[in-house]
Amino acid sequence: MSAALTRIVSSRLFWPVVMLIALVAINVIAFPGFLTITVKDGHLFGSVIDILRNGAPTLIIAVGMTLVIATRGIDLSVGAVAAISGAVACSILLSSPDPGNPGTVAVAVGAALVIALVLGVWNGFLVSVIGIQPIIATLILMTAGRGMAMLITEGQILTVDSAPFKALGSGFLLGLPVAVLIGVVIFAVAALITRRTALGMLIESVGINPEASRQAGVRARGLLFTVYTFCAFSAGIAGLILTANQTAADANNTGLFIELDAILAVVIGGTSLAGGRYSLAGTLVGALVIQTLVTTVYTVGIPPIVTMVFKAAVVTAVCLLQSPATNAAFGRLRHRLTARTSKGIAAS
């Protein structure tokens, strides 16, 4: 039993799951009906459903961010890419005589995702071909991307009236929010491709030792192009969900600071910023922790002015509990307890 308990506590998912359970418990105490899920017109509603729906954009971006971070990189431009994606889609819908036509919506969504892919290729080019540090390469697009979105929207908030487009953000399918289903699909596809093929192992090898991977024949340049393109694609999807939920493209606020939430979700999930081994399951838990934390702030009634401080405190606590020093301390404690138990048995 002690060996099994040791494995559980030493798992990268242990403390994030504990924190998630603690946040859920706080919400249940503050609001007893927190876990209640009701069915109205065949659709599921409740606080838990709201967390899943509102956390879907963060999860989608965090999945792409996980693969980027696993290669020792980082992508700070995902928020700007999300804003550009939403701006492109809304501008196409507004210029159409029939924005409610499903075909028009498909064209708008397709064009937005193509732009996102192009931006991802640009990031991959700067990192893998030019050799610019990832944080600088993506900071370029992070800075310029908002300006690009402003140019597309001409500095205005573009409001659209399109039921098919709105369904991406607030619609339902099979009783569940469409945003949640999209998040599940992105997560499942990424998990299957990276864990059921050699791609995940190659990504980890590039993150652990790029030079050794190159000498072993791993095409690191192609992998970097792939992960940065996928990350931007994920940001484009998240941007469409955020824009559709608001039925408006706001170049200044769409996806604002979402890159920080995505990075936090990855780190909370146990993936190291130094690259190498990664955990998509951990990223899922991390995204749920982030969104549940935001919900807890409103449920408990914490003033909005200290929301960021409260959020930072919780994230810091999780990271400290996951740190090597904490793991070493728990290891020494377990060793002492084991030694005392052995002495007690021998004495008896």
Residue 19 counted as domain residue: yes
pLDDT at position 178 = 93
Residue 52 counted as domain residue: yes
Task: Give the span between the Cα atoms of 21 and 97, in whole angstroms.
Answer: 49
pLDDT at position 133 = 92
What is the pLDDT averaged over residues 229-252? 93
Which 3 state secondary structure label does DSSP give 38?
Answer: strand
Domain containing residue 308: 2-342
pLDDT at position 32 = 86
CATH number where 260 lies? 1.10.3470
pLDDT at position 1 = 46
- 309 CB burial (10 A radius; 0-12, 13-18, 19+): exposed
Identify the top-confidence range among 7-16, 26-35, 118-127, 299-308. Answer: 118-127
The separation between the first and the last C-alpha atoms of the chain, rounded to the nearest angstrom, is: 21
Residue 107 counted as domain residue: yes
Over the stretch 66-77, which tens digit does the pLDDT of each residue have? 999 999 899 999
Residue 193 counted as domain residue: yes
pLDDT at position 7 = 66
Tell me what the pLDDT averaged over the chain comes to. Answer: 86
Pick 324 or 284 by higher pLDDT.
284
Lowest average pLDDT, out of 113-117, 151-155, 189-193, 314-318, goes to: 314-318
- Angle at 140 (CA atoms; ends 134, 143), nearest 5 degrees: 130
Contact call for residues 235 and 116 (beta carbons, < 8 A) = yes
Q: What is the pTM of this model?
A: 0.89
Task: Give the span between the Cα atoms of 333 and 97, in whole angstroms.
Answer: 69
Please check the confidence at residue 222 and state whether its pLDDT lies above 50. Answer: yes
Over the stretch 282-291, which tens digit does the pLDDT of each residue have? 999 999 999 9
pLDDT at position 326 = 72
Residue 348 counted as domain residue: no
Task: Give the span between the Cα atoms of 237 and 186, in whole angstroms.
Answer: 10
Number of domains in the chain: 1
Residue 347 counted as domain residue: no
Contact call for residues 235 and 82 (beta carbons, < 8 A) = yes
